[in-house]
Amino acid sequence: MATALKIAPPEDKISNFVSRTHRILINGKWVEAASGKTFATYNPATGEVLARVAEGDREDIDRAVKAARAAFETGRWSQLTPSERGRAIWKLADLLEENLEEFAELESLDNGKPLKVARVADVPLAVDLFRYFAGWATKIEGNTIPISVPYAAGAKFLAYTLREPVGVVGQIIPWNFPLLMAAWKLGPALATGNTVVLKPAEQTPLTALRLGELFQEAGFPDGVVNIVPGYGETAGAALAAHPGVDKIAFTGSTEVGKLILQAAAGNLKKVSLELGGKSPNVVFADVDLEDAIAGAASAIFFNHGQCCCAGSRLYVENSIFDKVVEGVAEHANKINVGSGQDEATDMGPLVSAEQLNRVCGYLESGISEGAKAVVGGGRHGDKGYFVKPTVLVNTTEKMKVVQEEIFGPVVTAIPFSDPAELVTQANDTVYGLAAGIWTRDIQKAHRLASQLRAGTVWINCYNIFDAALPFGGYKQSGWGREMGHEVLEQYTEVKAVCTAL
């Protein structure tokens, strides 16, 4: 298997896929949008048109939801044995692994991320995720519950719970890890017997569409997985509001998360949200300096800072502040910024012109308010959507660059001396997704881990993800958890059954 992974797909396979006009997957068929419209996606390294994609809208969403409903009601997925469902998901994982190189190339073209990163992170993590949830398909269990019933003296009952699928699930995903976010959403939904309508981000639909083909190849029944590319304000909003959808799962900005919640109120569909972050990464003076500097740099610069959990607020104990800032700046200087397709590239472009403007806008705002860029501070080159890896100092707590999610390769470095004040500062954000702690003192590490209001705390590491580890946010970073066994609760209803004996 290991050798199979290294085989590169023929170049024409990728270009044939990219250059076709992409359609919508509804009920096992690839169809044009009801409106006949298509939209363009762009190569973020050049700004040139990359692909044309059917523009799904309300009517397409409606058809997809009806297909998912029919697939659910007929039980062609939920009534398979758990073992059959698990094997189908495992087969999908095998197919994805066999096509690893192709998926890595598509992801790199579409999103801009370095091919070498997609090859070792995005695609293998997605494969692993599907395998993990293939295993769960046979382990969705309820409980037997001893009950007392005070008003029925002497009566005996057998009471138990069943975990059943929620039904038709709408899933809306972002562009920062397009394939992996599709996997995070689809894996648990399918393992628990739901049927799905997935809307990928307008910037990065290609790997989701190719994944749709693999679902067909793996033998998933028609209508179980429907994929509708399109815009958020049209297709996404229609999915969130659709009365035939039982649950909506969303990853993206906190702002849109709130819109999803409003849209979901119509039929009170279940909602899970994985939203933004402004995560504190704390470095104590007793640390292994080299490790902490490398860790702090990768916490913010991985995926060009386009991570909801990016370590974007770097708090460093006073006595080592200058050394750490200098070290992170050195790392930033060594980052090779270029096209994701180039094997030498460490950091590709941001995903879109919109993100480029947004991140540069934050940089201008921070610098105009008195922040200083020790390294970086603006756009890289004049073609494509590249931004220089940036370290900002001289910030104040109320600046936008310290409070708001920038979603680019920009870290604000802030000195601290009093650990109690540090806790207040680190928690002074509307977000609560992740945090990092760097110290050799385990007592200090675990004490701070318990004080930070965040869904994930990494100690002497950062950006460690695993299908078995739950991920999600406190406060405005979201509702519910992705991955781990915790996510299964988001995709199942609990039925209590009580029998008089």
Q: Indicate which residues carry an active-site annotation.
A: 274, 308
Site string for ligand NDP, 335-374 (x = CB under 6 A): -----------------------x----------------
The answer to whether residue 276 forms part of the interface with ligand NDP (CB under 6 A) is: yes
Cα 185 to Cα 90, 126, 490: the distances in Å are: 16, 11, 11
User: Considering the complex, what minimum distance in angstroms separates the CB of residue 484 from ligand NDP?
Assistant: 18
Window of 61-69, 118-126, 249-257, 283-291 that interacts with ligand NDP by CB under 6 A: 249-257
Amino acid, single-letter form, for residue 10: P
| CA separation for the pair 203, 354 (Å, rounded) | 11
Q: Is 480 in the site for ligand NDP (CB under 6 A)?
A: no
56 touches ligand NDP (CB under 6 A): no
The answer to whether 122 contacts ligand NDP (rule: CB under 6 A) is: no
Residue 233 touching ligand NDP (CB under 6 A): yes
Binding test (CB under 6 A) with ligand NDP, winner from 317, 346, 405, 482: 405
Residue pair 229/208 in contact (Cβ under 8 Å)? The answer is: yes
Rule CB under 6 A: choose which of 104, 127, 172, 363 binds ligand NDP. 172
**Cross-strand bridge partners of residue 483:** none
The binder of ligand NDP chosen from 100, 182, 201, 457 (CB under 6 A): 201
CB nearer to ligand NDP: pick between 77 and 385: 385
Residue among 56, 112, 167, 252 that touches ligand NDP (CB under 6 A):
252
Q: Does the footprint of ligand NDP cover residue 273 (CB under 6 A)?
A: no
Q: Residue 48 class from Cβ within 10 Å (0-12 exposed, 13-18 middle, 19+ buried)?
A: exposed
Residue 236 sits in the site that holds ligand NDP (CB under 6 A): yes
> Quick one: 304 or 388, whose CB is closer to ligand NDP?
304
Q: How many CA atoms lie within 13 A of 182 on its CB side?
A: 31
The contact mask relative to ligand NDP for 142-161 (x = CB under 6 A, - = no) is --------------------
* CA pair distance 342, 361, nearest whole angstrom: 28
User: Which parts of 289-308 interact with ligand NDP (CB under 6 A)?
Assistant: 308
Q: Can residue 231 be called a binding residue for ligand NDP (CB under 6 A)?
A: yes
Does 202 help bind ligand NDP (rule: CB under 6 A)? yes
| Contact assessment for residue 221 and residue 245, using Cβ atoms and an 8 Å cutoff | no
Give, in order, the Cα–Cα distances in Å from 38 to each of 57, 212, 236, 311, 398: 11, 18, 16, 37, 43
Shortest gap between Cβ of 254 and ligand NDP (angstroms)?
8
Minimum CB distance to ligand NDP smaller for 241 or for 374? 241
β-pairing, 434-438 with 390-393?
A: unpaired
Which of residues 140 and 180 has its CB atom nearest to ligand NDP in the complex?
180
Burial call 172-184: b when 16+ CB within 10 Å, e when fewer: bbbbbbbbbbbbb
**Least distance in angstroms from the C-beta of 5 to ligand NDP:** 27
Strand partners, 316: 283, 415
Pairing of strands 390-393, 410-416: parallel
Q: Considering the complex, what minimum distance in angstroms separates the CB of residue 233 from ligand NDP?
A: 5
Q: How far apart are CA 91 and CA 483, in angstroms?
A: 20
Closer Cβ to ligand NDP, 176 or 456, answer by number: 176
Q: Is the dihedral of CA 345, 274, 494, 267 positive or negative?
A: negative
259 in contact with ligand NDP (CB under 6 A): yes
**Full strand arrangement of the beta sheet holding 38-42:** 21-22, 49-54, 38-42
Query: Rounded to the nearest 5°, which phi and psi values hold at 204?
Result: -140, 65
Which C-beta is closer to ligand NDP: that of 233 or that of 397?
233
**By the criterion CB under 6 A, which residues form the site for ligand NDP?**
172-176, 199, 201-203, 231-233, 236-237, 240, 251-253, 256, 259-260, 274-276, 308, 358, 405, 407
